[in-house]
Chain A
């Protein structure tokens, strides 16, 4: 069965610091990948997605992620975080029927 791992459970950064959150998936075939964000008290929103093509994917709010097939990774990056980026971030792999397999989540706290 597919699985998704997020290694960083809680990351604390100061504003303007660079961010990289790790995501690894287990499946070796064709894969689609998502990053979702959940701001405090809110629902999950799609940050970016990879289906095929350019392995460097740009999302909303200055986020990007790089799909590296050889490493089974899809790490999320942002060059300079803001206080408003404080949220929980989830990596997910869709399965048949659109069912999502989520990683454990990474809580990001950005200090002003």
Chain B
């Protein structure tokens, strides 16, 4: 398995509170991604990074921000959590970020917003 660690693995938080999820990789891959998984929607891209300090929005970025100050860490922040952000969040990494490069996924973080 690729060296990807997501933390925390489970979190319950209250509506309106900020939440930060961490993705840490030991593969030195340039590209990192945050997806959310919801029933009936598959996985949808929230934000991605193509290098340190280089990030861009994905399909469902509203209410989320990201930061990447080091190659190995990619943080996802829910600025003010809402119940619609209850989901399973997956981090992924890719060495080259080209369409013919495989992405590797972390174990996921199950977030519940009450």
Interface size class of B (residues with CB under 8 A): 20 to 34
| A100 with B45: CB separation less than 8 A | yes
Report the separation of the CA atoms of residues A26 and B48 in the bound assembly, to the nearest whole angstrom: 23
Tell me if A99 is interfacial: C-beta within 8 Å of chain B.
Answer: yes
B48 contacts across to A, CB distance below 8 A: 97-99
Report the separation of the CA atoms of residues A95 and B92 in the bound assembly, to the nearest whole angstrom: 14
Q: Which one of B50, B90, B102, B108 contacts A46 once the chains associate, using CB atoms below 8 Å?
A: B102
Residue of chain B at shortest CB distance from A107: B39
Tell me if A102 is interfacial: C-beta within 8 Å of chain B.
Answer: yes
Count of chain A residues near B, Cβ 8 A: 25
Q: Closest CB-CB distance, B69 to chain A, in whole Å?
A: 20
A-B Cβ contacts below 8 A, count:
64
B58 contacts across to A, CB distance below 8 A: 99
| A103 with B99: CB separation less than 8 A | no
Q: Which one of B43, B94, B99, B102 contacts A102 once the chains associate, using CB atoms below 8 Å?
A: B43
Residue of chain A at shortest CB distance from B31: A98
User: Can you name 22 A-B pairs with beta carbons within 8 Å?
Assistant: A9-B40, A32-B100, A36-B105, A42-B107, A43-B108, A44-B43, A44-B90, A44-B92, A44-B105, A51-B100, A90-B42, A94-B99, A94-B100, A98-B33, A98-B99, A98-B101, A99-B33, A100-B33, A100-B43, A102-B43, A104-B40, A105-B42
